[in-house]
A and B are shown apart, each in its own frame.
Chain A
Amino acid sequence: MKGNIAVCEGAIAAGCTTYFGYPITPQNEIPAYMSKKMVELGRVFVQAESELAAINMVFGAAVSGSRAMTSSSSPGISLKQEGISYLAGAELPCVIVNVQRGGPGLGNISGSQADYFQATKGGGHGDYRLIVLAPYSVKEMYDLTFLAFDLADNYRIPVMILTDGIVGQMMEPVEINPEFRVQSSEIKKDWKLDGCKGREPRLMRSLIMEEGGLEKHNWHLKKKYDGIKKTEIRCEANFPDSAEITVVAFGIAARICKSAVKKLRQEGLKVGLMRPVTLWPFPEKAISDIAAKSKKILVAEMNMGQMVEDVKLAVNGKCPVEFLGAPGGAVFSEDEIIAKIKKL
């Protein structure tokens, strides 16, 4: 199965009932597949007239209580930022998929990881966070998309799947966990706008003009985000207790690093890998713990150095942090990572 198709299947299994998109490479398989599948299932597919329209359609679908998704790639995600900020402000659950390509600008159509800052620091205006999930295999494209819908509903928050053109385009066999069941029916959406006959009218908005109202709302959001930080951090550590050098990487970069680390372990080198699965909330504590035991940390990313800043904050001077980057749609090879680690 192709990575992009796994996203669709994960969304469909999770009970996504509405999809709105606009084409851009390298994620075109998503709208193409959804245009067939969603219609077959009697669900909603709309190819919008623009990215802006698509994200605002997501707003409409989400506010009426449906499980909504949109997908795009880097330049298209930039266009959606205003809408994402509105969704975060109005606390509406939805899933946004970014199959990253090289930037800045129109860049190129190769896989890249250069949208880390945009995804994790709030790409739109205002104080807000998204839950950001970074799949590193086709299977995780399915699993994390499935999970994203539940997280979105549980916390009333937009969730972003931050992947890239390589994981999106690659194909590999996937075993689908038969235990996956739609949880949407269990999550009570007592805020949705579904007609107020027999109940008090509800008001959903991100415009809060009354005296002190927005400040209160922001403190409420802060409390929610702090709660998510406590419960939803996900990461995978390989050899955390016996590593002198730990590589920190996410998404496709982590996959390449994982096999480099494996090779080095076979040579007897004490190397480990830490892979954040949630980029926000970031696994600060896990990285801080590893830093206390490691001599050095290497951050490898397919950009000019973005997550490395969060790693440095988490390490907080406990050990030196080095960086290996590959910007502009370039990919590093296992051998490059091995050579870099050996030089440390």
Chain B
Amino acid sequence: MYEKIIIAGSGGQGIMFLGNLLCNVAASLNKYTTFFPSYGAEIRGGTANCSVIIADDEIGSPVIAEPSILIVMNEQSYNRFLPKLKKGGLLFVNSSLVFSAPPDAVQIPATEIALQVGDVRAANMVMLGKFIKDTKVFPVAAVNDVIKKVLENKKNLLEVNLFAFMRGTKL
């Protein structure tokens, strides 16, 4: 395995949290992994993105030129990162906010589902659920465990995040 994942959206959509979480799951399963955030002079509500690599072997550059998997949460990020996606790469889009994605993309109305679940901020977890279900990069249980661990001290957020994640795995 050598997956190069770029996660992109707007500030506040939990992009860094999602990247971090993937990295933590990878570490918990003894995989090699790197996380590299974009830290340009971004503004609140501006774009946010991060690069996560998960591999069975040592990782060279943590910077990704050509992602094998792209997870985009809004239209702006979709336009920016789509040209970088590797040929034959997997594309996951939040169809609540991305309107021009091609039909072969995995389209999830993550923001709508998150609203149904009770917290618009959980859209990232819905995406994660669907991502795990489709790619099988990690077992669902391993992700579940890490979410519980990471949000251990934020019990009010734990429930909705776990719920949103599980919803995603069933889409």
Contacts and interface: CB of A to CB of B under 8 A. Distances in A.
Contact of B61 (A26, A109, A169, A334): A334
B40 A172 contact: no
A25 B37 CA distance: 13
Nearest to B30: A173
8 contacts: A169-B37, A170-B34, A170-B35, A171-B23, A171-B34, A171-B36, A173-B32, A256-B60
Given A171-B34, A172-B33, A173-B33, A26 B39 contact: yes
A52 interface: no
A109 B23 CA distance: 24
A331 interface: yes
Contacts of B58: 258-259, 262
Interface string A289-323: 00000000000000000000000000000000000
Nearest to B35: A171
Majority-rule SS of A interface residues: helix
Given A173-B27, A333-B65, A258 B36 contact: no
A109 B40 contact: yes
B63 interface: yes
* A-B pairs, 7 with minimum CB distance: A259-B60, A171-B35, A173-B27, A256-B61, A333-B65, A170-B62, A172-B34
A339 to B, nearest CB: 13
A257 B61 CA distance: 8
Given A25-B39, A109-B41, A173-B27, 6 more contacts: A166-B62, A171-B20, A173-B33, A255-B60, A259-B58, A259-B61
Interface string B59-82: 111110110000000000000000
Interface in A158-184: 166, 169-173
Contact of B65 (A166, A170, A335): A335
Contact of A166 (B27, B36, B59, B66): B36
Most B Cβ at <10 Å: residue of A171, A256, A258 = A171
Nearest to B65: A333
Contacts of B62: 166, 170, 172
A107 to B, nearest CB: 13
A334 B34 CA distance: 16
Contacts of B59: 172, 259
A281 to B, nearest CB: 27
Given A171-B23, A172-B33, A259-B58, A109 B63 contact: no
A334 B41 CA distance: 27
B89 to A, nearest CB: 15
Nearest to B26: A173
A271 interface: no
A15 B154 CA distance: 33
A170 B33 CA distance: 10
Contact of A331 (B27, B33, B63, B66): B63
B36 A169 contact: yes
Contacts of B65: 333, 335
Nearest to B53: A172
Contacts of A334: 60-61
A96 interface: no
Contacts of B23: 171-172
Contacts of A257: 60
A172 B20 CA distance: 10
Contacts of A259: 58-61
Interface string A12-44: 000000000000011000000000000000000
B25 to A, nearest CB: 11
A255 B27 CA distance: 20
Interface string B26-58: 010000111111011100000000000000001
A208 B18 CA distance: 58
Residue of B20, B36, B59 with most partner-chain A CB within 10 A: B36
B127 to A, nearest CB: 20
